[in-house]
């Protein structure tokens, strides 16, 4: 009875939660090749504590049975919704939902690129909520051979990504997939940041030929579904191969975290105006075990307290 009451109180708090309230921060991540959902918690966005003893909260069962790039969103209905890369070379992504991050729905393989028979991949999906249309926007990166021939030779292994999207109100039916962002270069790992009444995409320039880029750039729009501007100049530290960005506002600062995958650690930059950036990587303390490409989000402190009190079964 006590656990049911606690669960109900958490849901009520979620329904009333806005980022303006006192918040803790959660970080989703995976390890290895995509073993499942891991969570870490923080009070300040800098020092992160591993939860559940480092064990997974959800083990992948759909698609290629991997769980890479987990993106977690707290919806207006108090339900957490998560999408992820379910394999390396597939036309689908993974999806599941939870009210408490401990007990999860049945996993779904969502065939977002099924209409493209030659598609090579569906990587790093993200989910955002469109308050105006009261629907969820899902976007990810894919390579469709023959598309965008002007940048065909710029990527790894013939991959030449652009960002695609679909929308849904119920995660049962989805609108036809469409091109979401075409910056004129090979692009992956888009993530959404809301700031100053605008919508920003943080993206990775995946160009490796003839000169390696592998940096982060910013585009903006007045609408969540675009169109987005041309990408600005790189803002990640020079010489760092960064991927998997995730962004949040903490206090007066916007922080963009990124996976320094060649260095096997996380980095971050901070800005007050999204123009001038400070490298704060040395201030970060992430969980051991080489966390990979995840997302950060603000949640009521009660959510983290419950995660600490009730270990996940898996």
Q: What is the pLDDT of residues 236-259, one digit of tens each?
A: 999 999 999 999 999 999 999 999
In a domain, 176, yes or no: yes
In a domain, 226, yes or no: yes
How far apart, in whole angstroms, are the C-alpha atoms of residue 172 and residue 168? 7
Q: Give the pLDDT score at 258.
A: 98
CATH, residue 18: 2.115.10.20
Q: Give the pLDDT score at 248.
A: 98
Q: What is the pLDDT of residues 151-166, one digit of tens each?
A: 999 999 999 999 999 9
Does the bond joining 278 to the residue before it have cis omega, within 30 degrees of 0?
Answer: no
Q: What is the pLDDT of residues 103-137, one digit of tens each?
A: 999 999 999 999 999 999 999 999 999 999 999 99
Of the candidates 291, 281, 292, the residue with the CA atom closest to the CA atom of residue 46? 281
Q: What is the pLDDT of residues 166-208, one digit of tens each?
A: 999 999 999 999 999 999 999 999 999 999 999 999 999 999 9
pLDDT band at 310 (very low <50, low <70, confident <90, very high): confident
Q: Give the pLDDT score at 21.
A: 57
In a domain, 314, yes or no: no
Q: What is the pLDDT of residues 53-98, one digit of tens each?
A: 999 999 999 999 999 999 999 999 999 999 999 999 999 999 999 9
Does the bond joining 86 to the residue before it have cis omega, within 30 degrees of 0?
Answer: no
In a domain, 273, yes or no: yes
In a domain, 215, yes or no: yes
pLDDT band at 22 (very low <50, low <70, confident <90, very high): low
Q: Tell me the whole-structure pTM to 2 decimals.
A: 0.92
Q: Residue 209's domain spans which residues?
A: 2-309
- Number of domains making up the chain: 1
* DSSP label at residue 153: T
In a domain, 167, yes or no: yes
pLDDT band at 23 (very low <50, low <70, confident <90, very high): confident
Averaged pLDDT, 210-222: 97
Q: Give the pLDDT score at 314.
A: 52
Of the candidates 123, 115, 215, the residue with the CA atom closest to the CA atom of residue 160? 123
């Amino acid at each position: 009875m006590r656990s049911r009451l606690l669960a109900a109180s958490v849901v009520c708090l979620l329904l009333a939660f806005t980022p303006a309230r006192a918040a803790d921060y959660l970080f989703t991540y995976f390890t290895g090749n995509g073993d499942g959902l891991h969570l870490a918690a923080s009070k300040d966005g800098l020092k992160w504590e591993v939860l559940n003893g480092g064990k997974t909260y959800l083990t992948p069962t759909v698609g290629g049975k991997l769980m890479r790039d987990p993106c977690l969103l707290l919806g207006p209905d108090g339900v957490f919704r998560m999408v992820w890369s379910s394999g390396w070379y597939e036309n689908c992504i993974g999806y599941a939902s939870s009210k408490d991050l401990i007990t999860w729905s049945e996993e779904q393989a969502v065939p977002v690129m099924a209409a493209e028979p030659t598609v090579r991949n569906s990587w790093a999906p993200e989910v955002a909520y469109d308050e105006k249309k009261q629907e969820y926007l899902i976007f990810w990166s894919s390579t469709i051979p023959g598309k965008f021939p002007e940048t065909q030779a710029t990527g790894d292994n013939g991959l030449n990504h652009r960002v695609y999207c679909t929308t849904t109100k119920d995660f049962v039916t989805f609108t036809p997939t469409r091109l979401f962002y075409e910056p004129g270069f090979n692009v992956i790992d888009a993530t959404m940041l809301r700031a100053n009444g605008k919508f920003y995409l943080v993206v990775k320039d995946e160009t490796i030929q003839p000169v390696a880029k592998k940096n982060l750039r910013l585009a903006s729009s007045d609408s969540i579904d675009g169109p987005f501007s041309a990408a600005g100049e790189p803002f990640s530290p020079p010489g760092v191969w960064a991927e998997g960005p995730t962004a949040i506002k903490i206090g007066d600062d916007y922080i963009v975290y990124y996976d320094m995958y060649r260095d096997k650690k996380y980095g971050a930059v901070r800005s007050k105006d999204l123009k001038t950036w400070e490298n704060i990587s040395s201030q970060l303390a992430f969980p051991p075990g080489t966390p990979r490409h995840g997302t950060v989000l603000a949640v009521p402190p009660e959510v983290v307290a419950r995660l600490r009190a009730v270990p996940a079964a898996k």
